[in-house]
Amino acid sequence: MAMAANVATFTDANFETEVLKSDMPVLVDFWATWCGPCRQLAPHVEAVAGELAGKLKVGKLDVDQNVRTAGAYQVQGIPTLLLFRNGKVEEQIVGYVSKDVLRRTLDRHLQPAPVH
């Protein structure tokens, strides 16, 4: 399956460097090749990767090939989307969601902090 240019491939080997130590928020799409809903969600993930380039790093992690990372975050059902910021999970979306729901959820987390 070809990936969009702005969607990274995360693995057990690069997860810490690419995700946990990232300076910007990271959306990780936990998926598998045999998962129908994952294939339905993929275009939405690729679309928001393009729309939010520069504000959000986006990548996919194949749960069958990267069992350690999937297990570490207790990913049971797929697709599961986890939004990481500063190495911590800020948001979890399990199952298929529309692009609108995905974008609204991400926008909520990417808003600048209110200035008091």
- Establish whether the linkage from the previous residue to 43 is cis, with ω within 30° of 0: no
pLDDT at 3 exceeding the cut of 60: no
Q: Domain count of the chain?
A: 1
For 50, which DSSP code?
H
pLDDT of 113 above 90: no
pLDDT for the residue numbered 112? 72
Those residues with Cβ within 8 angstroms of residue 61's Cβ, 6 or more apart along the chain or in another chain: 9, 10, 11, 15, 28, 29, 30, 31, 69, 70
CATH of the domain at 35: 3.40.30.10
pLDDT digits (tens, 9 = 90+) for 12-68: 999 999 999 999 999 999 999 999 999 999 999 999 999 999 999 999 999 999 999
Q: Which pLDDT belongs to residue 1?
A: 44
Question: Which residues have a catalytic role annotated?
Answer: 35, 38
Establish if 25 belongs to a structural domain: yes
In a domain, 110, yes or no: no
Strand 26-31's sheet: what is its strand order?
Answer: 7-9, 57-62, 26-31, 80-85, 88-94
Q: pTM for this one?
A: 0.92
